[in-house]
């Protein structure tokens, strides 16, 4: 127990870094994922094709590949970052967006087709039908899977620890190396701080879900 | 078959054809509806009457033929099509009110987003329309809180809010409990009296007799008869129509 209390400042710093990585990547992934889902249902074949290929590649390859690409390949292509954190955010949001896109698309498919027909018949264009009628209903129905994806994102952010970003897991590894006699305690501490992020997300999910449910 | 000169028609279908795979659902349809006319389309299920109605605002595409509204040929896609749809009101069998919007928002959304009407004005117009169809006091509720008949009247108000040139009704009472049918039909009869151009797909023969200027009878994707209600109901010419009417009367 002492090892946790003594290193509370480090844990806290790691916790904040993980929170930051997850929050920023989560927001970017939600936006990018929704755009990808919109592209997937758009009447433009090229957009549909792009979205499909993107989603299939990103969700079917390991997250580590996305990290390698962002941290090592992108700089070689001339895109360099002052901090590895930026690469981590790129990798995490690009990867998570693929899963969000699929969840949102399933939500879009769950909205009765009559909703879109009614919107089109009062003269709305594709963008208006999607943004005013379909997506607001679709997003409400996919809140549980979206939160699942965000919880996975919080945990996935630990991969950043292997890419020189000192977040919760990165500090945890340092502490475990420094306190060889208390590895279990150190890791329990790490797990506790992850739970501090993910459990409230789950609670938030059920609250929001109940609040925004649409009765038909 | 009585058809007017296409020149003075508000809605005009010329040699329209459509297939669903092997099934020829619309066979060489010619129909011309003048301004202010109320045309009721009846026929057995599967006769293509709903498809015909939906083709007029291109919710169904057609393979050949020409559909024009107020002299303008129905555009294929994009902005022109959206503009034209704004001029054609549509009422669906299943109401299709926007489930996440209040009754008032359902009616104001089109005017605000499509026509750019200021919100205050749109709200005022919408309330007047909701009062007119008898659901003014339901304005802040969500669609699921209303009965079917009330929802359908809201749907009519939503279509009217766009100030359409013509209203299409696709079996507007078929999903309603019997005691709610009349409240919707009353609104439609009133609308017809006020001179709205209407194309109504329905099984309500009472409405056809009361409000229609013409009855179009469809069977197997074709327009079989096109006559006044009086002519059609008392003296149908085709065997197909006689058969259809006899089935209606025996129940």
User: What pLDDT, on a 0 to 100 scale, did the predictor assign at position A216?
Assistant: 66
In eight-state DSSP terms, residue A67 is: H
User: What pLDDT, on a 0 to 100 scale, did the predictor assign at position B107?
Assistant: 96
Two tokens, residue A69: 């690409």
Quick check: A122 and B98 CB within 8 A?
Answer: no
Mean predicted confidence (pLDDT) in B32-54:
92
Find the helix or strand (DSSP H, E) in which B106 lies: helix B103-115
Cβ–Cβ < 8 Å for B194, B36: no
pLDDT for B125-171, tens place per residue?
999 999 999 999 999 999 999 999 999 999 999 999 999 999 999 99
- Tell how strand B64-69 and strand B9-20 pair up: antiparallel
Two tokens, residue B184: 């919707």
pLDDT for B78-102, tens place per residue?
888 888 899 999 999 999 999 999 9
B90 close contact with A: CB closer than 8 A? yes
Closest CA–CA distance from residue A46 to any residue of chain B (Å) = 17
**Where do the H-state alpha helices sit in chain A?**
2-6, 8-41, 45-59, 63-68, 74-76, 84-110, 113-121, 126-128, 135-141, 143-156, 168-178, 183-212
Mutate to test the interface with B, among A43, A122, A131, A135 (most CBs of B within 10 A): A122
**Res. B4: pLDDT tops 60:** no
Closest CA–CA distance from residue B151 to any residue of chain A (Å) = 12
**Tokens 């997506």 -> residue:** A135
- Lowest-confidence region among A180-189, B134-143, B169-178: A180-189
**Res. A132: pLDDT tops 50:** yes
User: What pLDDT, on a 0 to 100 scale, did the predictor assign at position B249?
Assistant: 64
CA distances from B245 to B42, B43, B182, B213 (A): 10, 9, 21, 18
Quick check: B94 and A120 CB within 8 A?
Answer: no
pLDDT for B200-220, tens place per residue?
999 899 899 989 999 999 999
A115 close contact with B: CB closer than 8 A? yes
Residue A44, φ and ψ in degrees, nearest 5: -90, 115
**Res. A134: pLDDT tops 90:** yes
**Res. B121: pLDDT tops 90:** yes
User: What pLDDT, on a 0 to 100 scale, did the predictor assign at position A76?
Assistant: 86
What ipTM does this complex have?
0.89
**Res. B1: pLDDT tops 70:** no
Quick check: A214 and B94 CB within 8 A?
Answer: no
User: What pLDDT, on a 0 to 100 scale, did the predictor assign at position B250?
Assistant: 58
B86 close contact with A: CB closer than 8 A? yes
User: What pLDDT, on a 0 to 100 scale, did the predictor assign at position B2?
Assistant: 45
B110 close contact with A: CB closer than 8 A? yes
User: What pLDDT, on a 0 to 100 scale, did the predictor assign at position A113?
Assistant: 94
Q: Determine the residue of chain B that is closest to A139 in CA distance.
A: B100
Q: How far apart are CA B125 and CA B163, in angstroms?
A: 11
Q: Rg of the Cα trace of chain B?
A: 18
**Res. B74: pLDDT tops 60:** yes
pTM of the shown model: 0.85
pLDDT confidence tier of residue B3, bands split at 50, 70 and 90 = very low
Mean predicted confidence (pLDDT) in A71-79:
85
Q: Determine the residue of chain B that is closest to A111 in CA distance.
A: B99
**Res. B117: pLDDT tops 80:** yes
pLDDT for A151-181, tens place per residue?
999 999 998 888 878 888 888 888 888 888 8
Two tokens, residue A214: 């649409």
A112 close contact with B: CB closer than 8 A? yes
pLDDT confidence tier of residue A208, bands split at 50, 70 and 90 = confident
pLDDT for B188-202, tens place per residue?
999 999 999 999 999
Closest CA–CA distance from residue A148 to any residue of chain B (Å) = 24
**Tokens 């996440």 -> residue:** B100
User: Alpha carbon B213 to chain centroid distance?
Assistant: 15
Mean predicted confidence (pLDDT) in A7-15:
89
Sign of torsion over alpha carbons A44, A47, A53, A59: negative
**Res. B251: pLDDT tops 60:** no
What is the three-state SS of A118-153?
A: HHHHCCCCHHHHHHHHHHHHHHHHCHHHHHHHHHHH
**Res. B6: pLDDT tops 80:** no
Q: How far apart are CA B224 and CA B218, in angstroms?
A: 5
């Amino acid at each position: 127990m002492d090892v946790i209390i003594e290193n509370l400042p480090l844990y806290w710093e790691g916790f904040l870094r993980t929170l930051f990585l997850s929050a920023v990547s989560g927001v970017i992934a939600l936006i990018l994922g929704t755009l990808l889902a919109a592209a997937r249902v758009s009447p433009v074949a090229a957009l549909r094709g792009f979205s499909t290929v993107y989603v299939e590649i990103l969700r079917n390859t390991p997250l580590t590949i996305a990290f390698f690409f962002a941290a090592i390949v992108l700089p070689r292509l001339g895109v360099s970052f002052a901090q590895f954190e930026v690469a981590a955010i790129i990798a995490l949001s690009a990867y998570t967006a693929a899963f969000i896109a699929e969840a949102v698309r399933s939500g879009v498919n769950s909205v009765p087709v009559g909703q879109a027909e009614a919107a089109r018949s009062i003269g709305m264009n594709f963008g208006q039908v999607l943004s005013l009628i379909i997506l607001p209903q679709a997003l409400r129905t996919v809140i549980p899977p979206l939160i699942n994806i965000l919880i996975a994102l919080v945990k996935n952010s630990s991969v950043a620890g292997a890419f020189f970003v000192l977040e919760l897991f990165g500090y945890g590894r340092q502490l475990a190396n420094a306190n060889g006699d208390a590895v279990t305690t150190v890791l329990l501490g790490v797990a506790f701080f992850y739970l501090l992020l993910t459990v409230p997300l789950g609670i938030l999910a059920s609250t929001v879900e109940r609040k925004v449910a649409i009765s038909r | 078959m009585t058809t007017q000169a296409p020149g003075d028609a508000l809605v005009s279908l010329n040699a329209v054809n459509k297939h669903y795979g092997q099934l020829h659902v619309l066979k060489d349809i010619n129909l011309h509806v003048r301004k202010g006319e109320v045309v009721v389309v009846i026929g057995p299920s599967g006769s293509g009457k709903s498809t015909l109605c939906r083709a007029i605002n291109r919710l169904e595409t057609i393979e050949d033929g020409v559909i024009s509204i107020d002299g303008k040929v129905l555009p294929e896609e994009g902005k022109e099509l959206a503009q034209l749809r704004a001029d054609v009101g549509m009422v669906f069998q299943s109401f299709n009110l926007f489930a996440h919007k209040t009754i008032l928002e359902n009616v104001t959304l089109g005017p605000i987003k499509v026509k750019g009407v200021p919100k205050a004005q749109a709200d005022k117009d919408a309330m007047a329309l909701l009062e007119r169809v008898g659901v003014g006091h339901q304005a802040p509720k969500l669609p699921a809180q209303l009965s079917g008949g009330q929802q359908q009247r809201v749907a009519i108000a939503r279509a009217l809010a766009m100030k359409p040139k013509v209203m299409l009704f696709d079996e507007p009472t078929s999903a309603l409990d019997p005691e709610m049918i009349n409240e919707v039909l009353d609104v439609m009869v009133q609308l017809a009296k006020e001179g709205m151009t209407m194309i109504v797909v329905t099984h309500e023969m009472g409405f056809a007799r009361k409000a229609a200027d013409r009855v179009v009878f469809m069977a197997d994707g074709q327009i079989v008869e096109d006559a006044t209600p009086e002519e059609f109901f008392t003296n149908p010419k085709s065997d197909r129509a006689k058969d259809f009417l006899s089935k209606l009367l025996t129940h």
